[in-house]
């Protein structure tokens, strides 16, 4: 039995390590949401977040160890925690300063993601790395069981990190919002620091208080507490904006997920497809089937988003069956409330699109539409050969598969690989664009796959806006990276970031 007279102080040290580690991971998870409206959510943005915060933590651990060797005491821990609170709150102020500069720059997505995180969270993570070695050293002076003390402190730090991760991802952000989470974290760090600051002079405490007030007031003046999100879910920063100027008449609203305008719905005309790529995907369906069969078609949508195409289908053919797999229930709630969508008209599954499609019976659908890609962030499992085989097995004979992909022009390697992957199962795979740019830029490509060819290389609209789209199979085959050099995507090998590197490493990706 441990009769150590210092057990309460040791428990206090352990609790501090646990909570400070938890708050660091709260900041890390929240960082992804804070920068998403500016750079989206990609493996590169998360790599920047994890790398920068681990770098700050490592440096903080080293500095804390050096400080401990030079006689740091409890007061040093309090100072580190107090400044961590100040700089955590200051991350919101930093965002208001950094964002306009980076948005106006010609930096690529990778560089921009790194600079956002570096400017906002490197110093807080450094400061939060200091208490663990400090308190571990102080604990060793109170308990001779070296291995026990060191192991306990490491375990508490790891456990705190785990709790902070799950608490933020599953609860805090979706109930409080990212900026509130940052403010709560800052307040908790300040409260955690106070018991350690008992011996700090009145002048020192007054200076800390003045600095906190200055940061808080400046952040308010810079609108740092105002979120660009109307709603925050477990997956997205959501907002609905008025885009009536893009419609010929009447009211139109657009859904913005993170920093991507995801779809536009017209209030008075559900059949109005303002976005050319959505219009094209519906024209491909209308061209693929006889007009008399359209009212009886069964559709599956991998991704609901703004529900623009499902809404247009039910308006034109009310008897058609429309099944939608939408990952985020808040997206459905938002478009139902603000974008003129009636969810009761569709069979909606809130969950992963591939898992939902797997649960459907074979040969159930005439049309499968994959519109779950989020800007240049690609759900890997929705581009692989295994997914293509699943989709084909759920299509009726004579059905059609369509999808859209954002990629670079004129050499869209992601599009080419996906086209090559689809050709493993479908005899007719076509790539379409609504315009042929004169210079390199990002474009939204539409890919269709079926067993039935579409006549001609120019597809003109038969409904809605007068538009034309161009089949670019041959130009893709003859220019840029040869198809034989590009992979077929499989569940074991989906090098999406390598395929879209032209976007990730240029300004066009933002």
**CATH number of residue 178's parent domain:** 1.20.1250.20
Say yes or no: 282 and 217 in one domain. no
Phi-psi domain of 445 (left: phi exceeds 0; alpha: psi -120 through 50; beta: other): beta
Say yes or no: 315 and 176 in one domain. no
Q: What is the pLDDT of residues 152-209, one digit of tens each?
A: 999 999 999 999 999 999 999 988 999 999 999 999 999 999 999 988 889 989 999 9
Given 194, 227, 260, the domain boundary residue is 227
Work out how many domains the chain is built from and give that number.
Answer: 2
- Residue 116 falls within a domain, yes or no? yes
Distance CA 183, CA 161 (A): 19
Residues present in the chain in total:
510
Given 195, 227, 259, the domain boundary residue is 227
Whether residue 487 contacts residue 417, with contact meaning beta carbons closer than 8 Å, is answered with: yes
CATH of the domain at 462: 3.40.50.150
Say yes or no: 218 and 315 in one domain. no
pLDDT at 510 over 60: no
Distance CA 94, CA 122 (A): 11
Segment 67-95 mean pLDDT: 95
Segment 407-436 mean pLDDT: 95
Distance CA 301, CA 299 (A): 7
Q: Which residues of 319-357 are buried (b: 16+ CB within 10 A; e: fewer)?
A: ebbbbbbbbbebbbebbeebbbbebeebebbeebbbebb
- Residue 256 falls within a domain, yes or no? no
Say yes or no: 371 and 222 in one domain. no
- Residue 446 falls within a domain, yes or no? yes
Candidates 325, 326, 317, 347; CA nearest to 255 is 326
Candidates 450, 403, 168, 396; CA nearest to 287 is 450
Say yes or no: 205 and 315 in one domain. no
- Residue 217 falls within a domain, yes or no? yes
Dig out the tokens for 26 from the structure. Answer: 């709260």
Range of the domain at 215: 7-227
464 — phi, psi (to 5°)?
70, -145
Whether residue 388 contacts residue 413, with contact meaning beta carbons closer than 8 Å, is answered with: no
Whether residue 245 contacts residue 267, with contact meaning beta carbons closer than 8 Å, is answered with: no
Beta-strand pair 321-326/298-302:
parallel
What sign has the CA pseudo-torsion 56, 59, 62, 68? Answer: negative
Q: What is the pLDDT of residues 355-383, one digit of tens each?
A: 999 999 999 999 999 998 766 677 889 99
Q: Lowest-confidence range among 188-192, 288-292, 338-342, 377-381?
A: 377-381
pLDDT at 120 over 70: yes
pLDDT at 289 over 80: yes
Whether residue 314 contacts residue 346, with contact meaning beta carbons closer than 8 Å, is answered with: yes
The residues with which 405 forms a beta bridge, in sequence order, are 445
Q: What is the pLDDT of residues 27-52, one digit of tens each?
A: 999 999 999 888 877 778 899 999 99
Candidates 1, 140, 128, 151; CA nearest to 59 is 128
Confidence of residue 23 (pLDDT cuts 50, 70, 90): very high
- Residue 252 falls within a domain, yes or no? no
For residue 260, what pLDDT is reported?
Answer: 81
Say yes or no: 223 and 349 in one domain. no
pLDDT at 509 over 60: no
- Residue 497 falls within a domain, yes or no? yes
- Residue 434 falls within a domain, yes or no? yes
Residue 362: count other Cβ atoms within 10 Å of its Cβ: 10
pTM: 0.87
Say yes or no: 207 and 62 in one domain. yes
- Residue 491 falls within a domain, yes or no? yes
Given 177, 207, 227, the domain boundary residue is 227
Distance CA 413, CA 410 (A): 9
Say yes or no: 326 and 383 in one domain. yes
Going by the DSSP 8-state scheme, the letter that residue 491 receives in this structure is T
Say yes or no: 128 and 202 in one domain. yes
| % pLDDT > 70, the chain | 97
Say yes or no: 294 and 214 in one domain. no
Candidates 201, 218, 210; CA nearest to 78 is 201
For residue 214, what pLDDT is reported?
Answer: 95
Say yes or no: 199 and 317 in one domain. no
Going by the DSSP 8-state scheme, the letter that residue 377 receives in this structure is B
Whether residue 404 contacts residue 446, with contact meaning beta carbons closer than 8 Å, is answered with: yes
Say yes or no: 456 and 350 in one domain. yes
Distance CA 503, CA 83 (A): 38
Whether residue 52 contacts residue 191, with contact meaning beta carbons closer than 8 Å, is answered with: no
DSSP string across 418-452: HHHHHTTT-SEEEEEES---SS-EEEEEEEEEESS
């Amino acid at each position: 039995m441990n009769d150590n007279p210092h057990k309460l102080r040791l428990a206090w040290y352990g609790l501090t390590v646990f909570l400070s580690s938890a708050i660091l991971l709260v900041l890390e998870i929240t960082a992804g949401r804070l920068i998403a409206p500016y750079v989206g959510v990609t493996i590169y943005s998360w790599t920047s977040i994890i790398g920068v915060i681990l770098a700050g933590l490592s440096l903080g651990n080293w500095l804390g160890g050096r400080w401990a060797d030079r006689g740091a005491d409890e007061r040093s821990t309090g100072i580190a925690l107090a400044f961590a609170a100040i700089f955590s709150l200051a991350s919101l102020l930093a965002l208001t300063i950094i964002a306009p500069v980076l948005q106006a720059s010609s930096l690529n997505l990778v560089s921009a993601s790194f600079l956002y995180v570096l400017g906002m969270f490197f110093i807080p993570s450094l400061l939060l790395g200091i208490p663990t070695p400090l308190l571990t050293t102080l604990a060793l002076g109170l308990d001779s069981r070296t291995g026990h003390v060191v192991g306990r402190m490491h375990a508490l730090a790891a456990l705190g990190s785990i709790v902070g991760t799950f608490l933020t991802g599953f609860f805090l952000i979706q109930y409080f919002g990212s900026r509130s989470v940052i403010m709560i974290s800052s307040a908790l760090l300040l409260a955690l620091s106070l018991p350690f600051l008992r011996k700090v002079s009145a002048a020192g405490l007054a200076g800390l208080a003045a600095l906190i007030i200055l940061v808080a007031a400046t952040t308010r003046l810079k609108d740092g507490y105002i979120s660009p999100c109307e709603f925050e879910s477990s997956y997205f920063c959501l907002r609905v904006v008025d885009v009536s100027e893009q419609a010929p008449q009447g009211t139109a609203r657009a859904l913005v997920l993170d920093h991507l305008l995801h779809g536009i719905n017209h209030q008075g005309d559900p059949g109005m497809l303002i976005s050319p790529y959505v219009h094209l995907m519906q024209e491909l369906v209308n061209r693929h089937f006889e007009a008399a069969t359209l009212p009886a078609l069964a559709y599956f949508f991998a991704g609901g988003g703004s529900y623009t195409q499902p809404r247009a289908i039910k308006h034109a053919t009310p008897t058609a069956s429309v099944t939608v797999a939408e990952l985020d229930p808040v997206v459905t709630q938002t478009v139902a409330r603000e974008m003129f969508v009636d969810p009761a008209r569709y069979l909606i599954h809130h969950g992963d699109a591939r898992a939902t499609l797997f649960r459907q019976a074979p040969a159930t659908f005439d049309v499968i539409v994959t519109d779950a890609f989020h800007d240049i962030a690609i759900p890997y499992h929705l581009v692989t050969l295994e997914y293509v085989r699943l989709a084909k097995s759920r299509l009726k004979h004579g059905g059609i598969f369509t999808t859209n992909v954002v990629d670079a022009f004129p050499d869209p390697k992601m599009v080419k690989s996906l086209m090559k992957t689809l050709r493993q199962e479908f005899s007719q795979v076509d790539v379409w664009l609504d315009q042929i740019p004169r210079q390199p830029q990002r474009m939204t490509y539409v890919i269709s796959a079926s067993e039935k060819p579409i006549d001609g290389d120019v597809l003109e609209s038969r409904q809605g806006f007068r538009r034309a789209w161009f089949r670019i199979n041959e130009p893709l085959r003859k220019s840029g990276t040869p198809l034989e050099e590009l992979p077929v995507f499989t569940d074991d090998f989906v090098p999406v970031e390598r395929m879209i590197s032209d976007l990730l490493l240029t300004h066009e990706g933002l």
